[in-house]
């Protein structure tokens, strides 16, 4: 290869072309580099080296998307992942309690193992440090005396600067056995965010409560164990 030919070949290699289809190991040559626009507005640089595909994302805005697992190396003294503004997290809470189930509204605990009828009550109240949306509630109901009983679930709140008199209902879910089917002993029932009649969201500095109201006092007559976990999408603000 003469000097001019090598110069032209090197110039061709220096220019990175933009492709319309997402690159793969099979579609690229060893040592080749291309650019590809993702649907999410990210320009990604691809390079095939040693038979593997290497990528580097470029962003035209402050929004960044990481694909795969993000690992922070802890070999260095100050190596840590630190948030400077806010991030989305999912927080889980335990609401287990042991009791029968009367035909009246009860509030399930955020601490301890006893439900309460009165509201507000410290054990059945949670002061929200951040904006939170109920992602789902999982309920393992014990053996029931009346499996066809409907139960109305509520998420309620007390606003900041309120003494507790102004309790308002945020969202309601009616477990109607004619629609959902009878309760199954010891089976887990999931209430998803889409099941509520409104967005089950509470703001920071509000008190949130979860209510449970059966329409039949014969649903569970003996003390039994209720296993309940709630999962909340939380906007953690630093």
Domains of the chain: 3-59 (no CATH), 86-237 (2.60.120)
pLDDT digits (tens, 9 = 90+) for 84-116: 888 999 999 999 998 877 778 899 999 988 888
pLDDT reported for residue 196:
97
pLDDT reported for residue 234:
97
pLDDT reported for residue 164:
67
pLDDT reported for residue 138:
97
pLDDT reported for residue 77:
64
pLDDT reported for residue 40:
66
pLDDT reported for residue 43:
85
pLDDT reported for residue 134:
98
Q: Which residues pair with 92 in a beta bridge?
A: 231
Q: Name residues of the chain where pLDDT drops below 50.
A: none
pLDDT reported for residue 113:
84
């Amino acid at each position: 290869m003469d000097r001019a030919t090598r110069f032209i070949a090197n110039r061709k290699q220096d220019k990175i072309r933009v492709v319309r289809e997402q690159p793969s190991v099979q579609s690229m040559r060893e040592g080749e580099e291309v650019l590809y626009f993702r649907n999410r507005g990210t320009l990604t640089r691809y390079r095939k080296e040693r038979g593997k595909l290497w990528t580097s994302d470029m962003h035209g805005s402050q929004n960044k998307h990481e694909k795969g697992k993000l690992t922070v190396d802890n070999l260095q003294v100050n190596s840590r992942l630190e948030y400077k503004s806010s991030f989305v997290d999912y927080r889980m809470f335990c609401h287990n309690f042991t009791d029968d189930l009367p035909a009246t509204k009860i509030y399930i605990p955020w601490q301890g193992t006893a439900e309460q009828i009165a509201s507000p009550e410290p054990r059945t109240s949670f002061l929200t440090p951040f904006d939170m949306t109920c992602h789902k509630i999982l309920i393992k109901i014990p053996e029931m005396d009346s499996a066809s009983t409907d139960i109305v679930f509520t998420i309620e709140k007390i606003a900041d600067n309120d003494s507790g008199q102004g309790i308002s209902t945020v969202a309601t879910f009616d477990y109607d056995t004619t629609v959902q089917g009878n309760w199954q002993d010891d089976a887990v029932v999931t209430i998803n965010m889409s099941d509520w009649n409104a967005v089950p969201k509470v703001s920071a500095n509000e008190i949130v409560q979860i209510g449970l109201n059966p329409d039949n006092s014969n649903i569970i007559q003996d003390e039994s164990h209720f296993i309940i976990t709630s999962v909340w999408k939380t906007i953690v603000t630093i």
